[in-house]
């Protein structure tokens, strides 16, 4: 008999079945958002079983969860089951808790933890992410009498690296990169003691048996010093750039107050003219010296995941202006490893910069030889260690939008936790390979979707190899050896599309090319656990996506189900003069929009008299641009929301050159925060003929600006006006078609003004507003949408 655990139900069944001694047998699938292994669950079970004088065993079943067989009296078994529910480790979350009752057979003399089973049972393996160092381990590092005193690799059963070290399942030490470091006698005693918090802690070690660190100069020569951590901190204080190999990758660290070294770092990194750097601080107290922290942000910062959180800068901002130029916020994290904690103890400043140690569009280097050879031009010193990083993982990034934490980058601390699906794909095993930018891969099967760590922009062979290796490693851990379907972007020239075709041929899989914005909308539906019968109105607003008409989309309202969509509204098509060059110099978008309403001579006068410095080629480039317009050369039409926001940013003088993805729109939002509401009133026609008009928005913004109106007020009003247009069109369609849910997704959904205003309008219309919770709004969720759509279409 199987009983699902509720205290009342299980007690009734218990009394009915056996009035005497019992043996309790149950299979428990335990997850902390999908985690089973590596959170100290088996030692926890052992301890409470011993406390209740039970005999039997607990065993990790590989891909089938955990099995416990316990024998004891009725009272003790009742208390045991109650403790399993009420006192479980803080990272554990029961997903499927089943109980079978049988008569006691008296076959055990004690309670034990058995070796993990490697037999595949057809279940879903739950894999642990890397977990930030816990308070107990930090205290161990401060104990002068311990072999872990100031030891940077200190960890226990509830903290430390997980996914970055795993080579295969089950998660046991021989299946991690720690196999290279045999335990010393002291650590082995702890490891084998079920009552110790390091019992079966697979990455546990100490200074006698664990990894060690080395410090090198830029010529690759070992630096002789008494204390490498102190020497590293000293070099940072002196204005040097130090490459630091951590848990899931390598970072560049430098002072956050020294303008000269920060500008030098920007030059060395390449493509980092203005792109913001992340900060790491020792404590919340230090963070409060330069940033404002809301309670929800503090909770996220101090969680076991320790992501980067975007926080509002304090005014005045006491750190360098070159950390996040012209932005209202700054990315901040707390130390998540012993390495970072020890270094920060030697730094008196409230923060240091910590950014990935790789050139743009190249994955982080994790092998010591490559770090020394390929980043010699980036850093002055290199603090490395000899533990292999099996899977690199960038830092995750979160911001608060519409009072809701949203993931910008889902990586360290989250991956490889699955996204729970609201339906079962049964025999389908589907792969999504992602788009071009900020990409991930995803594997969907049964009722889960597993995303890889953040891959980045798949526009180099190095990043493509990273995507491929991450997908294959995740497939190996999950026991997925074949794909029934594969989803990729509709764009024919993406490297990821070529990879999908390669896999489809290799596995004889059905290949589905999924429209970019439909994949966004499906990811939003998955994130809100909507059923297969649900349909929504999805506002999908971003920079670029290949439309099914071959044009560049990015401002779409879709009537969406999981397997189909209808494009019910879109932003007015605008001209990108020079194609992709218009994304780097957004004044070209502004010129294209103005060309609709004025002749070329008047357009030339405006561009030369007011925006000459926005063109790298100045007057000559403006003349070429006008020729392109006249002869219709290299002109492309787009409905991109990102291009409209970028056009506004350029015409208001906020951003004339895009030096990183989304920069013009991000700066527009930052300056809009300085504006006053209701100072500017637009007069924009209501959407009609499936079109949301944007030419009047740009033209009137320019007119207000020319009249001397405050550019911050114009920026704020433009955000609300665009949000109003999206909301009005979506609400009217939803009501006419009896659809109850309206949501927003795509990169623009990170914008607080736009998302919060649409949410307000939707709720005022007595409709349900949905937004992302566990998946990124941006392209990091596309692979999930691709995997789901292809799986469901393959079942049809």
Segment 740-760, tens digit of pLDDT: 999 999 999 999 999 999 999
Q: At residue 11, does pLDDT exceed 70? A: no
- Asked if 376 and 731 count as a contact pair (C-beta separation under 8 A), the reply is no
Residue 382, strand partner residues: 216, 243
Provide the token pair at 274: 């203005």
HSE at residue 395, side-chain half, CA atoms within 13 A, is 27
Over the stretch 317-360, which tens digit does the pLDDT of each residue have? 999 999 999 999 999 999 999 999 999 999 999 999 999 998 88
Q: Is 292 helix (H, G, I), strand (E, B) or coil?
A: strand
DSSP assigned state of 161:
-
Is residue 25 over pLDDT 60? no
Q: How far is 480 from 794, CA to CA, in rounded Å?
A: 17
Answer yes or no: is pLDDT of 101 > 80.
no
Rounded Cα distance between 776 and 774, Å, is: 7
- Of the pLDDT bands very low, low, confident and very high (cuts 50, 70, 90), residue 58 is confident
Q: pLDDT by residue (tens digit) across 267-311?
A: 988 778 999 999 999 999 999 999 999 999 999 999 999 999 999
**Residue 693 near residue 643 (C-beta atoms within 8 A):** no
Contact (CB, 8 A) for 67 and 27: yes
Nearest-CA neighbor of 352 among 360, 361, 344?
344
Question: Could you tell me the end-to-end alpha-carbon distance of the chain, in angstroms, rounded to an integer?
Answer: 36
pLDDT beyond 60 at 14: no
**Structure tokens given for 537:** 């109105």
In degrees and rounded to multiples of 5, residue 212 shows phi and psi of -130, 160
The pair of three-digit structure tokens given for residue 632, joined into one six-digit string:
């219709």
Say how many residues make up the chain: 796
Assigned token pair, 334: 């707390």
What are the tens digits of pLDDT across the range 586-630?
999 999 999 999 999 999 999 999 999 999 999 999 999 999 999
With a CB cutoff of 8 Å and minimum separation 6, the contacts of 599 are: none
pLDDT of 123 reads 60
The DSSP 8-state label assigned to residue 207 in this structure reads T
According to the model, what pLDDT value does residue 330 have? Answer: 98
Which position has the higher pLDDT, 39 or 75?
75
pLDDT in tens, 89-99: 777 776 767 77
Residue 360's pLDDT is what? 80
Give the C-alpha separation, 738 to 204, whole Å. 57
Lowest mean per-residue pLDDT among 105-109, 284-288, 459-463: 105-109
Q: Is the pLDDT of residue 32 over 60?
A: no
Phi and psi torsions of 488, nearest 5°: -145, 175
Residue pLDDT, tens place only, 563-583 = 999 999 999 999 999 999 999
Cβ–Cβ contacts within 10 Å for residue 68, how many? 24
pLDDT at 64: 58
CA distance 339 to 86: 34
Q: Which two tokens stand for residue 724?
A: 């109003």
The CA distance from 681 to 101, in Å, is 70
How big is the chain by its Cα radius of gyration, in Å? 28
Amino acid 118: pLDDT: 63
Furthest-apart CA pair in the chain: how many Å?
97
**What does each C-alpha distance from 729 to 46, 478, 535, 734 come to in angstroms?**
59, 43, 17, 9
**Which residues in 116-125 are b (16+ Cβ under 10 Å) and which e?**
beeeeeebbb
Give the pLDDT band of residue 245 (cuts 50, 70, 90): very high
Do residues 58 and 42 make contact, with C-beta atoms less than 8 angstroms apart? Answer: yes
- Residue 3 pLDDT > 50: no
Tokens 């070209």 found at: 588
Alpha helices in 87-204 (DSSP H): 135-140, 185-192
The three-state secondary structure class of 605 is helix
| CA–CA gap between residue 20 and residue 788 (Å, rounded) | 50
Q: What are phi and psi of 439, to 5 degrees?
A: -85, 160
Chain centroid, CA 437 distance in Å: 13
Q: Cα(124)–Cα(425) distance, rounded to whole angstroms?
A: 13
Q: How confident is the model at residue 39 (pLDDT cuts 50, 70, 90)?
A: low
Place of tokens 């975007």: 310
pLDDT at 684: 93
Confidence grade of residue 37 (pLDDT, cut at 50, 70, 90): low
Torsion sign across C-alpha atoms 686, 688, 691, 695: negative
Whole-number pLDDT of residue 77: 81
DSSP three-state, residue 733: helix
Query: Torsion angle of alpha carbons 114, 116, 118, 121, nearest 10°?
Result: 80
Positions of E strands within 686-748: 691-692, 741-745
Give the burial class of 589: count Cβ atoms within 10 A of its Cβ; 0-12 exposed, 13-18 middle, 19 or more buried. buried
In whole numbers, what is the pLDDT of the chain averaged over residues? 91
Encoding tokens for residue 118?
Answer: 């490697």
Query: DSSP class of residue 379?
Result: -
Q: What is the pLDDT of residue 377?
A: 92
Residue 40 in tokens: 């100290």
Which pair of tokens denotes residue 231? 């020497």
Residue-level pLDDT at 482: 93
Rounded to an integer, what distance in angstroms lies between the CA atom of residue 568 and that of residue 560? 10
Residue-wise burial string across 725-737, b where 16 or more C-beta atoms lie within 10 A, e elsewhere: bbbbbbbebbeee
Residue 24, pLDDT above cutoff 60:
no
Q: What is the C-alpha to C-alpha distance for residues 255 and 233, in angstroms, rounded to an integer?
A: 10
**Could you tell me the pLDDT band of residue 20, with boundaries at 50, 70 and 90?**
very low
E strands, 616-761, are 635-638, 691-692, 741-745
Query: Which of 304, 294, 246 lies closest to 33 in space, CA to CA?
Result: 304
Q: Per mean pLDDT, which range of 194-198, 369-373, 377-381 is the poorest?
A: 194-198
The model carries a pTM of 0.92
526 — pLDDT class (breaks 50, 70, 90): very high
**Cβ–Cβ under 8 Å, residues 108 and 11:** no
Chain center to CA of 113: 35
């Amino acid at each position: 008999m199987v009983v699902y655990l509720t205290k009342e139900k299980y007690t009734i069944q218990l009394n009915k079945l056996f009035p005497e001694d019992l043996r309790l047998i149950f299979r428990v699938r335990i997850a902390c958002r999908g985690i089973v292994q590596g959170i100290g669950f088996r030692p926890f079970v052992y301890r409470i079983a011993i406390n209740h004088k039970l005999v039997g065993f607990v065993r990790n079943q590989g891909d089938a969860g955990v099995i416990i067989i316990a024998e004891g009296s009725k009272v003790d078994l009742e208390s045991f089951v109650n403790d399993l529910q009420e006192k479980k480790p803080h990272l554990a979350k029961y997903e499927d808790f089943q109980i079978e009752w049988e008569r006691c057979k008296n076959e055990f003399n004690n309670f034990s933890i058995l070796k993990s089973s490697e037999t595949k049972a057809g279940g879903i393996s739950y894999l642990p992410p890397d977990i930030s160092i816990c308070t107990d381990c930090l205290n161990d590092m401060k104990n002068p009498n311990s072999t872990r005193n100031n030891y940077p690799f200190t960890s226990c059963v509830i903290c430390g690296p997980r996914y970055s070290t795993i080579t295969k399942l089950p998660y046991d030490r021989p299946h991690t990169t720690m196999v290279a470091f045999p335990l010393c006698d002291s650590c082995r005693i702890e490891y084998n003691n079920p009552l110790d918090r390091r019992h079966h802690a697979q990455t546990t070690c100490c200074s006698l048996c664990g990894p060690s660190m080395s410090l090198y100069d830029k010529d690759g020569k070992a630096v002789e010093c008494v204390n490498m951590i102190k020497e590293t901190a000293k070099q940072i204080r002196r204005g040097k750039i130090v490459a630091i190999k951590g848990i899931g990758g390598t970072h560049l660290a430098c002072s956050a107050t020294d303008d000269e070294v920060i500008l030098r770092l920007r030059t060395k990194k390449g493509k980092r003219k203005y792109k913001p750097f992340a900060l790491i601080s020792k404590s919340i107290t230090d963070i409060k010296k330069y940033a404002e922290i809301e309670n929800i942000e503090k909770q996220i910062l101090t969680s076991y995941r320790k992501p980067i959180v975007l926080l509002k800068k304090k005014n005045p901002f006491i750190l360098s202006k070159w950390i996040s130029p012209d932005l209202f916020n700054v990315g901040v994290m707390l130390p998540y490893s012993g390495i970072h904690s020890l270094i920060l103890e030697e730094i008196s400043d409230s923060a240091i910069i910590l950014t990935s140690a790789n050139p743009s569009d190249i994955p982080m280097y994790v092998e010591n030889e490559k770090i020394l050879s390929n980043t010699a031009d980036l850093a002055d010193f290199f603090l490395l260690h000899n533990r292999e990083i099996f899977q690199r993982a960038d830092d995750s990034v979160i911001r608060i939008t519409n009072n809701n934490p949203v993931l910008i980058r889902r990586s360290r601390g989250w991956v490889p936790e699955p996204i729970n699906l609201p339906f079962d794909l049964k025999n389908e095993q589907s792969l999504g390979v992602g788009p071009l930018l900020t990409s991930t891969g995803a594997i969907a099967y049964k009722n889960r979707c597993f995303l890889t760590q953040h891959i980045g922009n798949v526009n180099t062979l190095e990043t493509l190899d990273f995507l491929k290796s991450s997908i294959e490693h995740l497939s190996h851990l999950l026991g997925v050896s074949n794909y029934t379907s594969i989803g990729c972007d509709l764009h024919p020239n993406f490297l990821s599309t070529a990879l999908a075709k390669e896999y489809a041929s290799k596995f004889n899989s059905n290949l589905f090319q999924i429209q970019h914005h439909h994949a966004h909308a499906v990811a939003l539906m998955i994130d809100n656990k909507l059923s297969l019968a649900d349909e929504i109105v999805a506002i999908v607003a971003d920079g670029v996506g290949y439309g099914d008409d071959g044009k560049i989309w990015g401002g779409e309202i879709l009537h969406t189900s999981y397997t189909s969509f209808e494009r019910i509204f879109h932003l007015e098509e605008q001209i990108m003069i020079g194609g992709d060059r218009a994304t780097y110099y957004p004044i070209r978008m502004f010129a294209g929009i103005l060309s609709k309403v004025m002749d070329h001579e008047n357009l030339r006068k405006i561009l030369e008299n007011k925006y000459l410095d926005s063109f790298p080629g100045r007057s000559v480039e403006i003349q070429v641009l006008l020729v392109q317009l006249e002869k219709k050369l290299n002109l492309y039409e787009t409905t991109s929301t990102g291009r409209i926001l970028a056009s506004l940013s350029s015409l208001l003088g906020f951003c004339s050159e895009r030096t990183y993805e989304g920069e013009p729109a991000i700066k527009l939002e930052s300056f809009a925060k300085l504006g006053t509401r209701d100072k500017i009133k637009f007069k924009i026609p209501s959407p009609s003929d499936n079109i949301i008009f944007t030419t009047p928005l740009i033209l009137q913004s320019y007119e207000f600006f020319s009249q001397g109106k405050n550019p911050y007020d114009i920026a704020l009003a433009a955000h609300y006006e665009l949000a109003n247009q999206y909301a009005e069109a979506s609400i009217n369609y939803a009501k006419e078609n009896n659809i109850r849910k309206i949501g927003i997704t795509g990169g623009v959904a990170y914008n607080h003004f736009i998302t919060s205003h649409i949410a307000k309008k939707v709720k005022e219309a007595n409709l349900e507003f949905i937004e992302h919770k566990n998946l990124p709004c941006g392209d990091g969720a596309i692979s999930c949408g691709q995997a789901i759509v292809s799986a469901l279409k393959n079942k049809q």
